[in-house]
């Protein structure tokens, strides 16, 4: 059974200041963007990250007027793809649209996550450089926990790097027209 779990206003309260383990890797510049469906969750996550002292640039949207998610997904994905930002977070209603947009860019590994385990695996095995979430699917508390896990998790490398190298090679082949 499918059901929408729209966050209630009380669910949008930002959790208390996180205590990170020593393995937390939060250096670098981060970008965040959403459409109208992810605005409230984006604001909660932004506050959470700013409390941690993370260098965060908000690329919009800035109000709840209806907007097109590709316009905002492009901003963040382009910034990460071009090296203007190290990592990004994207939020739309379900996260699906933002994932599709972000993964069109070279070098982007955008992962739509639904819980703490998928957030961990997105970094540990896939070295996701953009985390994507659904603003109409998650509460602020759930989302902030997933962001925390993603930030704390390190990429394992090894066999996972070999797989990412294959994906990078595929991107090169697509750009050159050989696929």
CA–CA separation, 171 vs 179, rounded Å? 9
pLDDT reported for residue 26: 65
Catalytic residue (choose from 24, 125, 144, 160)? 125
Return the closest-CA partner of residue 125 out of 164, 171, 81.
164
Return the closest-CA partner of residue 31 out of 45, 15, 14, 11.
45
Tell me the pTM: 0.84
Domains in the chain (CATH in brackets) are 25-176 (3.40.1400.10)
Q: Let me know if 36 is a catalytic residue.
A: no
Q: Token digits for 150?
A: 């993603």
Q: Report phi then psi at 19, rounded to 5.
A: -110, 115
pLDDT reported for residue 55: 87
pLDDT reported for residue 3: 40
**DSSP letter string over 7-43?**
PPGGGGSPPPPP---TT----SEEEEEE-GGGHHHHH
DSSP state letter for 71: H
pLDDT reported for residue 114: 98
SS3 letters across 117-170? HHHHHHHHCCCCCEEEEECCCCCHHHHHHHHHHHHHCCCCCCHHHHHHHHHHHH
Average pLDDT, the chain: 88
Q: Let me know if 92 is a catalytic residue.
A: yes
Which residues, given as ranges, of the chain have pLDDT below 50? 1-24
pLDDT reported for residue 162: 93
Catalytic residue (choose from 24, 36, 92, 144)? 92
């Amino acid at each position: 059974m499918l059901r929408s779990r729209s966050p209630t206003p009380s669910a949008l309260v930002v959790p208390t200041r996180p205590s990170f383990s020593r393995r937390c890797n939060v250096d670098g510049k981060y970008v965040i963007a959403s459409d109208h469906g992810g605005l409230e969750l984006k604001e909660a996550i932004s506050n959470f990250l700013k409390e941690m002292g993370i260098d965060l640039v908000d690329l919009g949207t800035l109000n709840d007027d209806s907007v097109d998610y590709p316009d905002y997904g492009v901003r963040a994905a382009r910034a990460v793809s071009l090296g203007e930002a190290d990592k990004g977070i994207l939020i739309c209603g379900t996260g699906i649209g933002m994932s599709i947009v972000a993964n069109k860019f070279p070098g982007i590994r955008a992962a739509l996550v639904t819980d703490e385990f998928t957030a961990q695996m997105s970094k540990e095995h896939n070295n996701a450089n953009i985390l994507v979430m659904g603003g109409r699917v998650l509460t602020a508390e759930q989302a902030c926990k997933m962001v925390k896990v993603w930030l704390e998790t390190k990429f394992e490398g090894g066999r996972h790097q070999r797989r990412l190298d294959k994906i990078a090679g595929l991107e090169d082949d697509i750009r050159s027209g050989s696929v």
